[in-house]
Amino acid sequence: MPTQHEQWMKSALREAQRAYDIGEVPVGAVVVFEGKIIGRGYNQIEQLKDPTAHAEMIAITAAANQLQSKKLEKCTLYATMEPCPMCAGAIVLAKIPTLVFGVYDPKAGACGTLYNIAEDKRLNHQTHIIGGVCDRESEALLKSFFAKARMNSKKN
């Protein structure tokens, strides 16, 4: 039987699949408040021509709008991939108490891999981090996406 974190991560994986389906790097995120998803997001960087259109940023904005608050103090953010420095900063600024993510990001991870912005004691807020939840599913989606991208680049 899946854990609660795994169940919410499945929702984030569905968001990542939406990104995959439109040719975006497949990262998805959901924000959960009181047992309900109040924010969803998937990467839309290419589609929106916006370098800040990361799944986490979109989900955080949606959740803040839903709660009509810049503080998401009773929420949990689920992301299929370890957040980058920009997204980790947004998590801290939103005062999200818990972050659960799937696959670690060795190239841009800012929640334990390259940096640990979310747990940095020098900042005014720290976020509890749980990594590696449904990491195989997240990794498989990413590997499939990049294999497909390499095949397409060889054809051109």
User: Catalytic site residues?
Assistant: 56
Contact 92, 68 (CB under 8 A): no
User: Are 134 and 106 a contacting pair, CB within 8 Å?
Assistant: no
Quote the CA–CA distance of 28 and 18 in Å, as a whole number.
Answer: 8
Sheet holding 128-130, edge to edge: 36-42, 28-33, 75-81, 98-103, 128-130
Running DSSP on this structure, what letter comes out for residue 130? Answer: E
Q: Tell me if residue 10 falls in helix, strand or coil.
A: helix
Q: How many CB atoms are located within 10 Å of the residue 155 CB?
A: 6
